[in-house]
Amino acid sequence: MDIAGNIDPTPAIRTFTIDTGPPETLIDSGPSGTINVSSATFSFHGTPGDTAKVQCRIDSGPFVDCVSSQTFAGLVDGSHTVKFRAEDAAGNQDPTPATRTFTVDTTVYKASVKTVRVSGPAKARKGKKVTYKVKITNVGNATATGVKLKVKGRGINSSTSVGTISAGKTSTVGVKVKCKKQGEFKITFNVTSKNAGSTAVEKAIKVTK
C-alpha cells in the first residue's frame, strides 16, 4: 500500500512446504522363524507415497540404499536381523525402522539305522525257544521313526515294533524265536524304518534234535 492508499495488485507470494513428518516403513513379505536356506528376500515399502528411498541393513552392517525386493545372500547359520528405513524427499528418516529377525539353519537332518548288532546262540534244540539281543543304532542326526525288526529263517517269521530311536541312540530289542525246524541255516534280522532306511544282519544257527 502506498501513501495514496493503493494496494499492490500483485502481492509477493512464496509457496513452500514444511515437511517434518518422517515416513513409516512396512515389510510386505519375507521370512520369519527358521529357514533352511542361506538367502532371504524381503519386499517392503515406505509410506506415505512421497518416500524417496528405503535403506536396508543386515545385522551389524551399515544402512545402504535398497530396492524392494531385496535378497540377502550368503547368510551363515544363526540368527539374523534386517532393518528397513524409509526416507522422504526432505531427508526425514523413519526413526523406527521396520525390523525382522529370522534364523538360518542349513543343517541337513537325516535319520539312519545302519548299525545293527545281533547276539545270541549259534546252536539250539528243535522245538525250543532261543533269545536274541538286537542292538539297533540310529547313527543319524534326526529321530528314526516307525522302526521295525523282522526276523526270518527256516520256520521262523516274526515282526517286532521298535518305534522311534533318537539321534545317536541305540535301542536294544530282545526277540524270542522258536526253532521249529532242524538243520543249519541263517536267520535274517531285518530292520526297517519310515525315514531311516533299512539294514539286515544274518546269523547262522544249527538246530538239532
Binding mask 3-32 for Ca ion (x = CB under 5 A): ---------------------x--------
Going through the chain in order, the beta strands assigned E by DSSP cover 24-29, 33-35, 40-47, 51-58, 64-66, 70-72, 78-88, 98-104, 115-119, 123-125, 129-137, 144-153, 156-165, 170-178, 183-192, 199-208
Cell matching residue 156? 521262523
What is the 8-class DSSP label of residue 61?
S
Name the one range near Ca ion by CB under 5 A: 60-68, 94-102, 104-112, 170-178: 94-102
Nearer to Ca ion, 87 or 94 (CB): 94
Q: Does the footprint of Ca ion cover residue 99 (CB under 5 A)?
A: no
Check residue 94 for interaction with Ca ion (CB under 5 A).
Answer: yes
Q: How many residues bind Ca ion (CB under 5 A)?
A: 3
φ, ψ of residue 150 in degrees (nearest 5): -115, 130
The verdict on 47 binding Ca ion (CB under 5 A) reads no
157 binds Ca ion per the rule CB under 5 A: no
Least distance to Ca ion, CB of residue 17, Å: 22
